Amino acid sequence: MGIELELYVLIGLITLGASIFAVFEVETPRWRKVLKWLILVGGTVGLYYAVGHLALVFPLAMAALGSAVHVVWCRKHGINPLYATPRRRYYELRGWNWPE
C-alpha cells in the first residue's frame, strides 16, 4: 500500500474534525481553518515521501498536542474543555463578538 493509508487517515481526521469541532470555531476566519488543514495535509504528505508510513505520526502527534494545549488553556481560564461552557466567557477569551 502506498500513500493511500495516509490519505485515508487525513480524510478521517478532516471529516471528524470538521463535523465535531466546527461549533468551537464559529468565528475563526476561513483562512486560518484552511491554513491549518494545508499544514496538516502538506506536512503528512511531505513526510510520507521522506519517511514512509512513519508520516502518520505527524497528524496524530499534532492532534494530541492540540488537544493537550486546548485542555490546559480551557482549564486555566475556567472553561469546560469538552463543551466550551460558559459559552459567553469562551467567546470573550477568543476575542469574538457575542451573538445578539
- State pLDDT tens for residues 42-54: 999 999 999 999 9
Cell of 92: 470573550
Q: How far is Cα 81 from Cα 22, in angstroms, rounded to an integer?
A: 14
Q: Which domain holds residue 64?
A: 4-94
Q: Is the pTM of this model over 0.85?
A: no
Alpha-carbon 7 to chain mean position: 17
Amino acid (1-letter code) at residue 46: G
| 58 in a structural domain | yes
| 100 in a structural domain | no
- Number of domain units in the chain: 1
Question: In Å, what is the CA distance from 32 to each residue of 2, 28, 80, 86?
Answer: 30, 7, 23, 24
- State pLDDT tens for residues 4-29: 999 999 999 889 888 888 888 888 89
- Using a CB cutoff of 8 Å and minimum separation of 24, what contacts does 91-95 make? 91/27, 94/27
| 44 in a structural domain | yes
| 99 in a structural domain | no
